[in-house]
Amino acid sequence: MATHRSRRLRKKLCVDEFQELGFEVSFQYKEGTDEEAVGAFMKRFMGIAVEPNNLVYSGCDEYGFICLARRGSVSAEQRELIDEWLKQQPELAGVSVSPLIDAWYPDQPVNSTPR
C-alpha cells in the first residue's frame, strides 16, 4: 500500500524528493602508526578535506559517515574528492569509501530524481 504524505511531512522526514545522501568511510592505518600520528591525520582530514567542502564527519578514527553540513546531499564530486584525498595520505594502508547512501534511512534505495 502506497503512503501518501504531504510535501511538508516528506520534507520533515527527509524522504522522496527531500532524501539526503552521504557516504561511509573506513581507514586502515599502516602497521606501527601511533596514536599521535592518527590524531594528526584526523585533524588534517577535517581541516583540509572535510570542512572546506561544507561537509561534516561523524565517527571515530577508524570509520565514520560524511554528509553535507547543511540540509541537502553530498554530490558525487564531493565524494570523489574525499576518496582521492584519502588515497594520497601516507598514514593509510587502505581506505574504503561507500557509494552515496541515504543519510537518514540507509536501507532505502537512492532516488534517481534530481534535487
Residue 111 domain-assigned (yes or no): no
- Model confidence pLDDT, tens digit, residues 48-69: 999 999 999 999 999 999 999 9
Residue keyed to cell 534511512: 105
Residue 3 domain-assigned (yes or no): no
Please state the separation of Cα 86 from the chain's center in Å: 13
Q: 56 CB contacts (<8 Å, ≥6 apart)? A: 50, 66, 67, 68, 69
- Model confidence pLDDT, tens digit, residues 94-115: 999 999 999 999 999 998 754 4
Specify the pTM.
0.89
Q: What is the mean pLDDT of the chain?
A: 93
Residue 108 domain-assigned (yes or no): no
Where residue 63 sits, what CATH number does that domain have?
A: 3.30.70.100
What's the domain range around 71?
19-102
pLDDT of residue 13 exceeding 60:
yes
Q: 16 CB contacts (<8 Å, ≥6 apart)? A: 5, 10, 111
What is the number of domains present in the chain?
A: 1
- Distances from the Cα of 61 to the Cα of 71, 88, 107, angstroms: 25, 17, 24
pLDDT of residue 4 exceeding 90:
no
